Chains A and B, each alone.
Chain A
Amino acid sequence: MRSVHAVLLGMVLAFALQANAHAYLDPGTGTYILWLLISGAVGALYAVKLYWSKIRSFFGGERSGKEQDSTAKQDGDDQA
């Protein structure tokens, strides 16, 4: 477990060293860890969402902006 922590922290520090070249905000170590842990899965779900919407528009035609907006509001969440 300790070694996992050490690796995570190492990666975070690497990010921090690069990002802080100009950044004036400190994003925080925990925030970096969170991105390391979940951004891959969230990105994969995002890709599925994009492909799904392409498939739907292929079969269902182009939806109006209003319909798209209300659907987005309803399905909302939950890729994270």
Chain B
Amino acid sequence: MTRHDATPLAGSFRDPSGFIFERDGVLYRQVNHFYSDDYDLLVQSGLYDSLVGEGLLIPHEEVSAPAAQPQTACRVIAPERLPFVSYPYEWCFSQLKDAALATLAIQKKAFEAGMWLKDSSAYNIQFAGGRPVLIDTLSFEKYREGQPWVAYRQFCQHFLAPLALMALRDVRLGQLMRVYIDGVPLDLASRLLPLKSRLRPSLLTHICLHARLQRRWADRSDQAAVSREGNISRRGFAGMVDSLEAAVRRLCWKPKGTEWATYYEDTNYTPAAFAHKQRIVGELIEAARPQTVWDLGANTGVFSRLAAGRARIVVSFDVDPAAVEKNYLECAGSQKAVLPLLADLTNPSPPLGWNLCERTSLIERGPADTVIALALVHHLAISNNVPLDMIMDFFEQICDTLIVEFAPKEDSQVQRLLATREDVFPDYTREGFEGALRSRFKISRCEELSESRRIIYLARSLRKTGW
């Protein structure tokens, strides 16, 4: 939706240094007088050029566009716009780890330039071209000699605690980031971590001792023996940041034993049928000519990579953390247009945060030009009991063009889903599927896969005119 007014975006209100606003489809960031000296230092110290050159900071241009709130503004900048915004609870383990390491790399560079990060929110990191990049240009301020890192606790809550829980307890605990918008509380992380985590001095210190001291010193406000001198040496400061980096680097998670990560090695397609499917899907994507593609139930992203050469961005969703991890590691560095993300389509990301506006829902971040839904509908309809017309309602909300696969009850994968339950799906037939599809879309093409009973459709939303 294009905004003609110039109001701050809902998620950009905590930092008084400035805010993001949109006008006539262009994204701007207002820099307030309050932050003027730090902004000048960022640019004049060469830190901005250095970070942008390394792909660690989003580039921007200083523009003469009017500010949204002129009484507090000192300048307006136009940052490069990203095609899709994702959130930490949608990232796999390695995405969160790479985001943490990027944050620390930025902090180290800032320290060398006489600055530091005044916040270290995971929401300030986005993935652009397959790499983590800091999107908040106003996160830097002049280093204060002798002071502890002001964003240290936030780093521990947003990065170190969830990574440690994912690596050492259960990878699904990354979803705690969806519950706690300012990161995982350290006392909770400390309670959930296994005892063996205490054997790592870094985790013992940055999480367990940190949590204990937070609890012990909560709500203390007596002002006895106030000293005005900061006591943290530069070496101590650098050592603490280096210690955080070493702690993050040591945390690893290897997918094993999950259901869908080996799907393509355990499928009912013959090689010929699979090759045929790839050719058909490639042709349908060509016909759809999308800029943005969402591949739902993408597994390890085989078809996302097929779409990547034909679209500006392909967001590659799957419910399985192992599949997303594998997809991310395979795409990193080579497939810059693919953004693998975790999504449970039966419970997709809702709007979160203050006034339910701070973090947008998955649906609000659409619609995509094209949605690819291959080998997905039978899981939604049979494993999750979602009626076919409700599935089409959902698809219609999130795309203009749909490439969807239907697997009939005779298909061996569908048989597997029905093997342990009663068949209460009389409408789950080709006719029932096409009827539901036609209620929301116009079917443009329909292809039967060779050596398979499956059918792939190209359909255009009835909302869109001209087809």
Contact = CB atoms under 8 A, between A and B. Distances in A.
Contacts, number: 172
B417 to A, nearest CB: 41
Contacts of A73: 249-250
A39 B224 contact: no
A11 B231 contact: yes
Given A14-B228, A34-B209, A40-B233, A24 B238 contact: no
Contacts of B200: 77-78
Contacts of A6: 222, 224-225
Contacts of A44: 235, 239
The size class of the interface chain B forms with chain A is 35 or more
Interface in B185-209: 200-206, 209
B152 A33 contact: no
B236 A42 contact: yes
A28 B17 CA distance: 21
Contact of B210 (A14, A34, A39, A47): A34
A54 B16 CA distance: 43
Contacts of B233: 39-40, 43
A10 B224 contact: yes
Interface in B213-233: 213-218, 220, 222-233
B365 interface: no
A74 to B, nearest CB: 8
Contacts of A57: none
A77 B202 contact: yes
A46 B227 contact: no
A18 B144 CA distance: 9
A79 B242 CA distance: 8
Contact of B220 (A9, A15, A37, A43): A9
B118 interface: yes
A29 to B, nearest CB: 4
Given A25-B150, A33-B213, A14 B238 contact: no
A30 B217 contact: yes
Given A19-B144, A31-B213, A79 B246 contact: yes
Given A28-B153, A42-B243, A43-B239, A10 B217 contact: no
A12 B203 CA distance: 23
B141 interface: yes
The size class of the interface chain A forms with chain B is 35 or more
Interface in A6-60: 6-7, 9-15, 18-19, 22-25, 27-40, 42-47, 49
B450 interface: no
A25 B239 contact: no
B239 A45 contact: yes
Given A23-B150, A25-B151, A39-B240, A80 B202 contact: yes
B94 to A, nearest CB: 13
Given A30-B213, A73-B249, A79 B243 contact: yes
B114 interface: no
B205 A31 contact: no
B115 to A, nearest CB: 13
A1 interface: no
A76 interface: yes
Given A30-B217, A80-B202, A39 B247 contact: no
B147 A15 contact: yes
A6 B223 CA distance: 8
A51 to B, nearest CB: 12
Nearest to A2: B224
B38 to A, nearest CB: 8
B119 A34 contact: no
A71 to B, nearest CB: 11
B237 interface: yes
B222 A9 contact: yes
Interface centre among B15, B149, B218, B235 (most CB of A within 10 A): B235
Contacts of A14: 226-230
A79 B202 CA distance: 7
Given A10-B226, A34-B209, A39-B236, A27 B148 contact: yes
27 contacts: A7-B227, A9-B224, A11-B225, A14-B227, A19-B144, A23-B141, A24-B17, A25-B119, A25-B150, A27-B152, A29-B214, A31-B148, A31-B152, A31-B153, A33-B217, A39-B236, A42-B239, A43-B237, A46-B239, A49-B242, A72-B249, A73-B249, A73-B250, A77-B200, A77-B247, A78-B201, A80-B205
Task: Give the 10 A-B CB pairs with smallest separation, nearest first.
Answer: A46-B239, A76-B250, A43-B236, A30-B214, A39-B236, A30-B213, A10-B225, A35-B148, A43-B239, A43-B235
Interface of B: 14-17, 34, 118-119, 141, 144, 146-154, 200-206, 209-210, 212-218, 220, 222-233, 235-240, 242-243, 246-247, 249-250
Interface of A: 6-7, 9-15, 18-19, 22-25, 27-40, 42-47, 49, 72-73, 75-80
